[in-house]
Each structure stands twice: as structure tokens, then as C-alpha cells.
Amino acid sequence: MFEPRKIDQQQRLTRKQRVVVVIMNLMLLAELTWAMYHGQQDPENLTAIFLRSFIPMAAATLVVARILLRKLQPRLTATDDETPCETP
């Protein structure tokens, strides 16, 4: 019924980028666990404590992961690109 989408070799994640994604996912799970544990210490303020602790940590993790993914992105050369470079 559904077929997997074909991804060009140039658009696939490199091995280092995959490691960054796996580490980011593990960090987000750890941050979620810690924020829930920290919040349950005071049940009356669970929501406020959870939001004050989880949101900044998760945002920082996502920003750093995005920066690392972009830095680890392979550079395309003129021969790799589908459109040829125009010289003036």
C-alpha cells in the first residue's frame, strides 16, 4: 500500500550525523525523565516545575543538535550538484 520514499545518496545522513541524532534523542529522554522526577517532588507545582526545567533543556539540546548536524553536513561541489555552476 505505501512504499518507502527513495532518498538520494547525497541527502542521506552521514554516520556522524546519525550519532548526533541518536545522542540527541537519548538526551531528550533523560531530560524528560529528570524533569518529571524533579517535578514530582512537589506535586502541587508539578506543571510549573516541569515546564521551567524541561523546556529550556530541550530547547538547548535541539539547538545544539541542529548546529552540529549542519556542521557535519557534507559540502556539495560543482560536480556533485545537479545544476552546473555558471561562470560570468
Q: What are phi and psi of 56, to 5 degrees?
A: -65, -40
Q: Is 7 a domain residue? A: no
> Rounded to whole angstroms, how far apart are CA atoms 44 and 49?
10
Summarised one tens digit per residue, pLDDT across range 42-86 is 999 999 999 999 999 999 999 999 999 999 988 766 655 555 555
Q: Is 1 a domain residue? A: no
| Residue-level pLDDT at 78 | 60
| Residue-level pLDDT at 82 | 56
Q: Is 51 a domain residue? A: yes
Q: Is 21 a domain residue? A: yes
The three three-digit cell numbers of residue 25, written as one number: 534523542
Q: Is 8 a domain residue? A: no
Q: Is 83 a domain residue? A: no
The three three-digit cell numbers of residue 76, written as one number: 556539495
Q: Is 30 a domain residue? A: yes
pTM above 0.95, yes or no: no
| Total tally of structural domains belonging to the chain | 1
Summarised one tens digit per residue, pLDDT across range 2-25 is 888 887 776 788 889 999 999 999
Host domain of residue 24 = 14-71
